[in-house]
Amino acid sequence: MKKRSTPELARLAPLEQLRAGRLPYRIIQLFVGLTLFGLAMAGFVRAGLGLAPWDVLHYGVKLHTGLSLGTVVIIFGFIVLLLWIPLKQMPGLGTIANVLWLGIAADIGLAVIPQAEGLPAQIALFVGALLVNGLGGGLYIGSQLGPGPRDGLMTGLHARTGISLRLARTGVEVLVLAIGWLLGGIVGFGTILYAVSIGPVTQFFLRYCIVGLPQKATVDPVQAEAPRI
């Protein structure tokens, strides 16, 4: 029996993403992925073991402004998107949907997910959120409708400055983590666990979530690695 080949992530301009085919299916998959990603974000908060670097910043700002976590996520999504302008990055449909929907999904999750009580419950919720996060990221990336604003910032820095993607990602995330920690964001063992495991978990789900497109293009390196949405 011939082994089924896995579709590749295509590097497409925003208009090419919309013309690549299977658009209704891809839009549905995009929003399912973003919804799961937002719910996972809420799960990490309720687990109380530590957040992803960007979410440490979001939560720290939430503590000092009184805004909901989702509102802060949306505001920072727009701020990061503005930083695309000098980097000459062009947002896709998935980028705009990310900015508008991710925070809403996070607030919905916080409204329905209870606070975990006791270490076993915290660990169980964290691990569950990690798996949901990886699945959501795989669905979102696999829809091939553009990177999240934070990933686009890193690829833009790489393209405009020549620094490596790994250095751009590390530098940006260390900076936002430090600021978020100073603001009181949740930093803990879970922050480290997320950093070392989200890549492999997302990669596992991504292989089953990429929507095959007629166009043949090179793999986008930052999307193939792991989402920071």
pLDDT > 60? residue 41: yes
Q: What is the pLDDT of residues 158-214, one digit of tens each?
A: 788 888 877 888 888 899 999 999 999 999 999 999 999 998 999 999 999 999 887
- How large is the average pLDDT for residues 71-82? 95
* CB-based contact 72:61 (threshold 8 Å): yes
Query: Cα(48)–Cα(62) distance, rounded to whole angstroms?
Result: 15
- Residues 6 or more apart whose Cβ sits within 8 Å of residue 137: 33, 37, 198, 202, 205, 206, 226, 227, 229
Q: What is the pLDDT of residues 85-101, one digit of tens each?
A: 888 888 999 999 999 99
State residue 101's pLDDT score: 96
